[in-house]
Amino acid sequence: MANASPMLMMLVIFGIFYFIMIRPQVKKQKEHQAMLGKLGKGDEIITRGGIIGKITGVGDDNVLVVELQDKVRVRVPRSFVEGRWVPAKSTDSPAKSSESAA
């Protein structure tokens, strides 16, 4: 029984490691895959490289056609998409903040 004690401790440590590290990562990965599957024409996205654009078409082999500016389109693999782009909304305009500082 004394030889089983270290093995039991290793199993407990692995169980804790699984619930703290592995399980949340797998859940996050599944959510990201679901989000990628729902992307379609008209969605604004941000790539892993920080490029922001609007999806104008879905090509073959999981490739998205993304418009960066007028008449500037690039092809981006779905796997390079970080997520949907939601611009930050500021609650205070710069003009108001400079007036209140004076």
Which of 29-38, 52-61, 84-93 is predicted least confidently?
A: 84-93
The average confidence (pLDDT) of the chain is: 86
pLDDT higher than threshold 70 for residue 100:
no
What are the phi and psi torsion angles at 87 (to 5°)?
-60, 140
What's the pLDDT at 60? 79
pLDDT higher than threshold 80 for residue 93:
no
Among residues of the chain, what percentage have pLDDT more than 90?
Answer: 60
What's the pLDDT at 88? 83
What's the pLDDT at 94? 58
Percent helix, strand, coil in the chain (nearest 5)? 45, 25, 25
Q: What is the dihedral of CA 7, 9, 10, 13, to 10 degrees?
A: 160
The architecture of the domain spanning 40-87 is Roll (2.30)
Averaged pLDDT, 7-27:
92
4 vs 99: which has the higher pLDDT: 4
- Distance set, CA 102 to CA 61, 95, 96, 99 (Å): 57, 11, 10, 5
Sheet-wide strand order for 52-58: 72-77, 63-69, 52-58, 44-47, 81-84
The SS3 call for residue 70 is coil
Q: Do 80 and 39 contact (CB within 8 A), yes or no?
A: no
Domain ranges (residues) in the chain: 1-38, 40-87
